[in-house]
Every structure is written in structure tokens, then in C-alpha cells.
Structure 1
Amino acid sequence: MTRRPGRAVSALVAALVLAGCRAPADPPDRDARGPSHDTGTAADLLVADPCADLVVIGARGSTQDVGRNLGVGTEVRVTVEQLARRLHARSGTTVHVDPVRYDSAATPTAAGFLRNTAAGGALALQRLSTLADRCPDSRFALVGFSQGAHVVHTAATSVPSALVPRVVLVAMIADPSHNPDDPIARYSYAAEPTPGHGRLGAGPRIPDDLRRAAISFCVAGDAICNDRGAPGSGQSPTHQHFYEKTSTARVTADRLDRVLRAQGV
């Protein structure tokens, strides 16, 4: 028998959406403020070949349009473009983005939110398995923002053991289930990692065999991933606007590149 979330959990999820996990309407593939990278176009940085050297399985945030930004949301797109720039510069590694086409619509209940993220995690794993079979020479990254980070967190806890060696990156940007006690790499765009848990509470630790590939990003002003008070309190405009900036994406990509370098990518 499945237990239904109680009122407290429902309140947390409602607060999560209302306080900023709902992303603003995202721009089309070319940012309205200009290219998200320094030169060239997205087509120069990312390839259509689903069997690229590095396949990024990306998950967008709440309410972001799967028909825009490569289906992965502004924050993931601009970050992956910056990462592809770095990979091209030092190794010629090709990068392909594959979106997780889960239902990221806002839901009024905890049950709906958790059902959508669980389904998203299952879809991400399904896609990972399919592409791993089809593309024996590819390696894989799981990257998500906000609700999409929760999807990635969920998927990472259940990666089949046979596929673990091929997963070289698990990146959670502004994860509402951020766990400050998880001994993975964590980055806050400052000297020290953020100490708070995610708005949904501290999620499960990333499995030991994927810890080498995992990194969580959370800036201090983001109450979705750094909820310092009672869960669900406070607003978080930082959550909606910080990670999509080109300057932020460059720093995020630098940290992702460090993870990949450590694994020989």
C-alpha cells in the first residue's frame, strides 16, 4: 500500500512552487540578451548525433517549456554550452543534449510533485539505458536544475551497476532535496558550501560508486536548496535568476569540467 503524503509535506511542496521553484518563462534557444556563450552558435558547440562522446541527459525546472532551450531549460542549456566550449578547447570532445521529457507542470499537491519527479527519474534512467546500448563508446552526464535537479537526484540513486562506470557526471543545480551532509562535491560560488538543506529536506545520499561524478550547486541566497529556517519559509528570487546568467554558467561549467577532468574526460 502506498502512503499518501500528509499535510506537512503538501505544504512544503506548495511552498516550494510558490517560493521560486517555478521558473520564469524561459526564452527561446537564443537568449534574448544575446548568445549565452562567447562566440559561435549553439550548433557549433552541441551536436545532433545522439552517440556523441559525451551525452548530457538534462532535466528542466518546474514549468519550463520542453519546446525551448533544447528541452532542458535555460539554466541547463547555458551551462552545458559553456561546458562544451571547454571540452572542445582542450580535447575536441563532442557533446549532445538529450532532454528528459517529464511532466514539469506546477502541481497543487505533494503527491503530484513527487509523482512527476519520480516519473522523471525513471525516464532519465530509461533514456540512459537505451542510449548506452545504442552508443557503446559514449559516456553520460545527468544534469538538472531545480525540479530537474530533484529528477537527477532521484535517478542517480538507482543507476544500474553495469552503467555506473559510464556515468561521468551527476550535476544538481539548486536541488530542492540538497543534502549538506552528503560527502559529494558541493559548490556555492563562494568560499564555503551552503549549510542548509533543500526545501524538501535533505535527500538521500548519492551512492558511493557515483560519488566521484557528483556535484551539487547552491548559492547562499537560494532558499530552494539552502532553506535555513523552517522548511517552506521565505521567497527565493535568487533561485529564478542567478543560475541562468552567463557569468554564473561559466563558473558552473568550470566546476563541471574539473569533475570530468578527474575522470579522464
Structure 2
Amino acid sequence: MVSTRFLVVSLTSLALAFAQTDNCPEIPVTGVTMGEPVPMKPEDIPKGCSDYEILVARGTSEPNYEAGGGKFGIVVGDPVVSNTTLKLPGARGYPVQYPASANIISGSLQGKTDVVKRLITQAAACPRQTFALVGYSQGASVMHSAAKEIPLVLYGRIKAIVMFGDPALRLGEVLSRFPVGLNGKVLEVCAAGDPVCDPNGTCTFYHLTYIRPSYINTAVDFIVKGFTGK
């Protein structure tokens, strides 16, 4: 497998180089084998309390930006968390503990269970902590599943939900909604042409372009506003 540093350079350079047009650029050679599970590292789980916590469910086989100290996924989670913490020093990230592998049914169940457990546990231990949920691709599906089981009493503690490349969007507006009480806090980020979320999309390349600053900055601003009300 190529180094993570080369991977992030490849993704960033190509994502910035191509505008979203009718052309379909080739997917960069990243060395990542799609479907392979991502190792979960207990040492990456933050302890204690914080003012704000961002739960991130990564995309399928999405590695970390290890060269930059990433823990949440090189395309979406790492840039979202790092940029949010720069704007909001009291924020931190939590990597959802699931393999993000080709075993989608069992993996999604594991991810959903972990999200709900984390929210319940942290909310009880940290009365002032509030939360944001971020999901990318398969991770977005994990968040949809988790949202159905989050206790109603915790809805007020969840301040923002951001989905990148959400497969549920292909099912239509009604089926892609979150439960009442959460749906008004959702930002859906779908690149035009991305076949995972765009019903008219046909180019897989665009599913890797969420690392673009235009997408990341929009998500970060949404999360910060959700947390602070500003």
C-alpha cells in the first residue's frame, strides 16, 4: 500500500484540479483496497468530557491521514475535525468504532450500536457536552440507522448532522429524512455527478472530492454554528 502522505496528495491534487463537468476523471491510484476493514484503535477514543464532540463515521475502507495525525478518515473526517477544532478549541472528534468494510450489514449494525452507546454514555457522564454527527458514504448510512435509535431526550444535545455522499439521497427526499426533531439540523453534502448520492450521477471520481475546501469549509461552518448558535 502506498503511504498515507501520497494518498492525501493524490486525492487533494486531483480533487482541486478538476471542475465538476460532464467529463469523468479517472480515480487516482491510492493503494487502498476497497472493502478492506479499517483497523480500530482504542487509543484514538477520547476520554473524559469536552464542550463539543463530533462523532465521525468514515466511508468504506477510508484510511486516516496518519502523516497529519488523523484518526477519522482522510477524505472527510480528518479535515472536518481538524478545521472545526481550529475554529472552536473546545471541540474534539470521536471515531465511530466500526470496520467500514465490504461487510456492510454487520458493520453498519456495529457502527449504529457504537454511535448510540457513545451518545448515551457521554451525555450521562458530561451534562454540558453537546454533539455533532458526521457520516461519509457508508458512514452516512450508519448515522441514518443510529438516528432511529437515539433516545428522544438526547435530541436537544445533538446540534448538527452533516452527511457527505449519502446513499439515502438516491431514495428520494422522504426516505432520506432523519427523524422529526433531528431532520432540521441536517446538512446534506452531495457532489454533482457522485453516483452514490446524486440520482443522476455516473462518475465515481466525484465521490472522492469531498476533501475539497468548498465542501469541508461549508460543513465546518455549519457545525460551528450548530454548536455556538453563531
- What TM-score results when the alignment is normalised by the length of structure 2? 0.72
Check if 1:210 corresponds to 2:210.
no
How far has the Cα of 1:222 moved from its partner?
A: 0.9
How far has the Cα of 1:50 moved from its partner?
A: 4.1
1:177 alignment counterpart = 168
1:139 alignment counterpart = 130
Aligned with residue 198 of structure 2, among 209, 226, 242:
226
Task: Provide Cα deviations, 1:14-59, integer angstroms capped at 9, x if missing partner.
Answer: xxxxxxxxxx98836x9558x9xxxxxxxxxxxx664111111111
How far has the Cα of 1:105 moved from its partner?
A: 1.5
The 5-angstrom pairing of residues 66-145 of structure 1 reads: 68=66, 70-74=70-74, 75-88=76-89, 94-106=90-102, 112-145=103-136
Point out where structure 2 has 5 or more consecutive residues left out of the alignment: 13-45
Alignment partners' CA distance in 2, 1:176 and 1:25: 28
2:52 alignment counterpart = 54
CA 1:65–1:50 in 2, change beyond 3 Å: closer, same or farther? Answer: farther
Point out where structure 1 has 5 or more consecutive residues left out of the alignment: 1-23, 36-47, 89-93, 107-111, 183-201
CA 1:51–1:248 in 2, change beyond 3 Å: closer, same or farther? Answer: same
SS at match of 1:82: helix
Verify the 8 A CA contact 2:193 2:200 in the aligned structure 1. no
Verify the 8 A CA contact 1:26 1:64 in the aligned structure 2. no
Identity of aligned residues (%): 27
Verify the 8 A CA contact 1:26 1:73 in the aligned structure 2. no
The 5-angstrom pairing of residues 9-24 of structure 1 reads: none
Aligned with residue 253 of structure 1, among 210, 215, 220:
220
Q: State the 4+ residue runs in structure 1 displaced beyond 6 angstroms.
A: none
How far has the Cα of 1:180 moved from its partner?
A: 4.2
CA 1:102–1:49 in 2, change beyond 3 Å: closer, same or farther? Answer: closer
2:28 alignment counterpart = none
CA 1:25–1:259 in 2, change beyond 3 Å: closer, same or farther? Answer: farther
Aligned with residue 4 of structure 2, among 9, 27, 37:
27
Verify the 8 A CA contact 2:57 2:143 in the aligned structure 1. yes
How far has the Cα of 1:70 moved from its partner?
A: 3.8
- Give the counterpart letter for 1:51 in structure 2: C
- What TM-score results when the alignment is normalised by the length of structure 1? 0.63
- Give the counterpart letter for 1:132 in structure 2: A
Check if 1:161 corresponds to 2:161.
no
CA 1:116–1:53 in 2, change beyond 3 Å: closer, same or farther? Answer: same
- Give the counterpart letter for 1:119 in structure 2: Q
Alignment partners' CA distance in 2, 1:162 and 1:228: 38
How far has the Cα of 1:176 moved from its partner?
A: 1.1
Task: Provide Cα deviations, 1:94-153, integer angstroms capped at 9, x if missing partner.
Answer: 0111111102122xxxxx312211221111111111111221110011111111111112
Verify the 8 A CA contact 1:50 1:98 in the aligned structure 2. no
SS at match of 2:153: coil
How far has the Cα of 1:243 moved from its partner?
A: 0.6
Relative to total residues, which structure has the larger helix share, 1 or 2?
Answer: 2
